[in-house]
Amino acid sequence: MDTVYRSYALQTVHYFDRPHTGVPTAPIDSAAAWSGADFADPQTWQTRVRPDVIQAIETGLDVAANSGKPMSAWTVEDVPFEGLTNVVSSWRREIAHGRGFLLLRGFPVARWGEDRSAAFFWALGLHLGVPGAQNPQGELLGHVEDTGDDQDDPQVRLYRTSADIAYHCDAADAVGLLCLSPSRSGGVSRIASSVAVWNALLARDPALAARLFEPVRLDLRNEERPGMRPWIEVVPCRFADGSLRTFYHSDYFRSVERHAAAVPFTELERALFDAYEEIAESPGIFLDMELEAGDVQLISNHTILHARTGYEDSEDSKRHLLRLWLSFETDN
């Protein structure tokens, strides 16, 4: 049976297959070039899902549950969202061609429970695009929660801790989070437009902005195959047809120097990382979201940087999110 999701390797290849025609020399004007100050009114970027949308989803989940297939084998036909084609298409367009992010509120995860909520999120991914594995081990729906792992261990995935997570992008066209329960405090999701950050960097220092179109080393964090060096080179920015696509990963760029065989960063590289992240952390540039139970956040990994503040759990409120990676194959 053919899989309905992409392997980690195939998804990564798809993501980095970004067209490039040349380094832009002027600011990029697009819907994705927003600043946090543009969204002072939450009503302009939060969407409360309608009862009829939830009803259509629940009906589709019942159909899928009766199919006898495991969730990972479902197709769009197995879990129909009747009447929601235009709604889902509008969500996909906003992520891929609009401002690059959505916050959908009001999914009844408490009533659904974890298993049905996971089934919903997977089905949503099928309708939006092609789900993909999130690591070489083939994890399809990641659990973002504090497992007690040591946040100071350079091999540990920080989403398994309660620590701050610096700005980064994932190797998929889009990433989604479904909040099952929030933390007692903290855990704010912070996003910034990588297009707006690049525009600001261009105004400050064109040489630094141009450096983002040249290779940067990315730490593999113990996921290299035997015989490989522990980093690869990636090009953060690609530009074509008026669109800037960016892959940035602060922690994994910077931690390359921990390897004995790695040549130290040049002054230009250090200045680039510092300036880029300083701009992204500037008040008025970023937008903070406090995710509540039943919220779905969907963001583009081509036009959005995302980060997270540290958090504290309690017995009554333990942060638990499901994570989904998606590839897009249609513009509709």
Q: DSSP per residue over 39-66, as a string? A: G-SGGGTEEEPPHHHHHHHHHHHHHHHT
Is 3 among the domain residues? Answer: no
Is 152 among the domain residues? Answer: no
Domain CATH code at residue 248 = 3.60.130.10
* Total domains, the chain: 1
Nearest 5°: the CA angle 267, 171, 3 is 160
How far is it, in rounded angstroms, from Cα 264 to Cα 257? 6
How far is it, in rounded angstroms, from Cα 122 to Cα 50? 20
Residue 221 has what pLDDT? 84
Is 154 among the domain residues? Answer: no
Is 2 among the domain residues? Answer: no
| Dihedral angle of Cα 56, 60, 62, 63, to the nearest 10 degrees | 140
Cβ proximity of 34 and 197 under 8 Å: no
Is 233 among the domain residues? Answer: yes
Residue 193 has what pLDDT? 98
Residue 161 has what pLDDT? 80
- What's the predicted TM-score (pTM) here? 0.94
Is 48 among the domain residues? Answer: yes
Residue 121 has what pLDDT? 98
Distances (CA, A) of 34 to 40, 117, 189, 198: 12, 31, 17, 11
- Residue 118: domain span: 8-21+30-147+159-327
Is 332 among the domain residues? Answer: no
How far is it, in rounded angstroms, from Cα 244 to Cα 237? 7
**DSSP secondary structure of 146-192:** -----TT-TTS-GGGSSS-EEEE--SSSEEEEEEEE--SEE--EEEE
- Per-residue pLDDT of the chain (332 residues), as tens digits, is 356 899 999 999 999 999 999 999 999 999 999 999 999 999 999 999 999 999 999 999 999 999 999 999 999 999 999 999 999 999 999 999 999 999 999 999 999 999 999 999 999 999 999 999 998 889 999 999 977 766 666 565 667 687 889 999 999 999 999 999 999 999 999 999 999 999 999 999 999 999 999 999 999 987 777 778 999 999 999 999 999 999 999 999 999 999 999 999 999 999 999 999 999 999 999 999 999 999 999 999 999 999 999 989 888 889 999 999 999 986 55
Cβ proximity of 123 and 326 under 8 Å: no
- Phi/psi for 278 (5° steps) reads -60, -45
